[in-house]
Structure 1
């Protein structure tokens, strides 16, 4: 079970989720909570994970090149690794774990973020009965970005430790009964790609004149992460026209946005999460 909005609200009331300051309108999502940046940035030598029992603040003392106050408009440079303490802290009760993922808007501007917690040698997970602060590793990969305290770059979901995951057969049955995967016209796909207990999506290279976008490496403007519907996309992206042979070669190191052939529907009794493509599947 993934904790819904009402459960997250109850956890806040019960002190399992705390924050240095008031929770914002819209911070609690239907099945997750947005985490917000604090007011200090640590530029570190490299990415790292703590050993069991090791505190993030102690590692920062050894790995920080310099630190600075995060104010509105603070610049984060491409391919530099930063660690930013978050305003939220957690006290995870018995029987639950937490999982972090980037906000979709952050992924679309190629900012790589991962959650760090004390004594936990895994990114993006918070173990059962963890009590302490949260830290975010932030690496802009393509664009120079401007950040500010209080903005959200990641979100956290809370899930029972013994959460149930659907098998291939159960996913096929759910698709037959409820409808999980649809084509671009909204028709249920007869035989969706189901493997390794997951639904697979494919890149659409034929149904639209512009099938995607490639990030420009020489964009001269800073992307301010506090602004929405503000920038001209052509300053940061090159359009990818529909290829005549319906094939596209991806250049290593370039960042792309591509649409999918499939449309997804999640029935009320289910929850779903996106996962990176596994080439061994």
Structure 2
């Protein structure tokens, strides 16, 4: 635990018990710390680490065992996860000191954290950015769940991660953090009218915004930042990636660079995984958080952005233009698809926090992707 500034640790002096200035919204990091200290809303079998608490979310930790599954599943409204395991588990794996999760396989891992949500409190989960950029498909499951990545209002019970590496085999261990949880009180709506007003007050993108059911983001296929390439395509049959080791891997052992074409487009090959970047630079004001939602499948044969959370402060510096590109994790489907420069391929939906976080996303807290352009996960050298 960090001890240099005791007022900011999980065990600081008592603070007023509230959810923040606003009665509804996403809970910021300092409120989450307060609630965790009081053993409210989110509890764990082991002591929390300060590093788990992000500006608007909690990193969730893997427990000591993983179950290799026959297939993915949801327990449904009348069963717990444990009750469903007997018909789906192939074998149990001890990951206490590390184990490899193979590509093309499905695993379920009990998490060290569990929910103890009160009235009006719910949660939404997503893979961490570094997880999504490795093409590790990770989803949260709860007892009696009818959908992934959702923790219903008032839920009290265990949390599980479903993990399926799609491209690279990964080494994980007890305590590895692959996904994150946002905790919300109430269900405030944020309309397109409010989004236009917010952009007028604090620019969200560095161009005229496309606002319709959220903020549209388009793809850069010509190299807006004048870099040597416009993307990366994942290689197959690579070495293992240790999920907890930063900055140690040579990108070209795992990725092929993609250079811009004269036509300004790219053909997505079936079942390939790409890292691309948005044409727009993005900024998330400190009192707001955003999520990239699944895009309408009717506009293209691809899926964009496994890791959908954008933290308050991402790409934001007061008085300056937006400074960070959204990195787009793109997986094609059954048929080749031509992606054009400037094509809208994702939308950000915004939500207010209950109050401004004490520490927003940025260099000050060691955020890895602030001011990013096209960027691979933190596991690779620059």
TM over 0.5: yes
Deviations 1:108-133 (A, max 9, x none): 11000000000121100101111111
Partner of 1:151: 176
Cα distance, 1:244 vs structure 2: 1.0
Dislocated runs of 4+, deviation >4 Å: none
Partner of 1:20: 45
Partner of 1:218: 237
CA distance in 2, matches of 1:97, 1:280: 30
Partner of 2:56: 31
Q: 1:208-247 maps to which residues of 2 (within 5 A)?
A: 208=226, 209-219=228-238, 221-247=239-265
Extract unaligned runs of 5+ from structure 1. 183-188
Q: 1:53-202 maps to which residues of 2 (within 5 A)?
A: 53-165=78-190, 167-182=191-206, 189=207, 191-196=208-213, 198-202=214-218
Partner of 2:284: 266
CA distance in 2, matches of 1:28, 1:238: 34
Q: Is 1:41 the equivalent of 2:85?
A: no
Extract unaligned runs of 5+ from structure 2. 1-24, 300-382
Cα distance, 1:139 vs structure 2: 0.1
Deviations 1:80-123 (A, max 9, x none): 00000000011011111100000000001100000000012110
Instruction: For residue 292 of structure 2, give the secondary structure of its aligned residue in structure 1.
Output: coil
**Alignment root-mean-square deviation, CA:** 1.3
Conserved in 1, the CA contact under 8 Å of 2:98 and 2:174? no
Query: How many pairs align?
Result: 271
Conserved in 2, the CA contact under 8 Å of 1:73 and 1:224? no
Cα distance, 1:206 vs structure 2: 1.2
CA distance in 2, matches of 1:114, 1:75: 18
Instruction: For residue 26 of structure 1, give the secondary structure of its aligned residue in structure 2.
Output: helix
Conserved in 2, the CA contact under 8 Å of 1:180 and 1:265? yes
CA distance in 2, matches of 1:59, 1:217: 33
CA distance in 2, matches of 1:172, 1:137: 37
CA distance in 2, matches of 1:106, 1:172: 31
Give the TM-score normalised by the residue count of structure 1.
Answer: 0.93
Instruction: For residue 175 of structure 1, give the secondary structure of its aligned residue in structure 2.
Output: helix
Q: Is 1:6 the equivalent of 2:30?
A: yes
- Find the partner of 2:77 among 6, 31, 52: 52
Conserved in 1, the CA contact under 8 Å of 2:80 and 2:143? yes
Q: Is 1:275 the equivalent of 2:293?
A: yes
Give the TM-score normalised by the residue count of structure 2.
Answer: 0.69
Cα distance, 1:160 vs structure 2: 2.1
CA distance in 1, matches of 2:280, 2:33: 33
Cα distance, 1:246 vs structure 2: 0.6
Instruction: For residue 73 of structure 2, give the secondary structure of its aligned residue in structure 1.
Output: coil
Deviations 1:28-64 (A, max 9, x none): 1111000000001100110000121311111112210
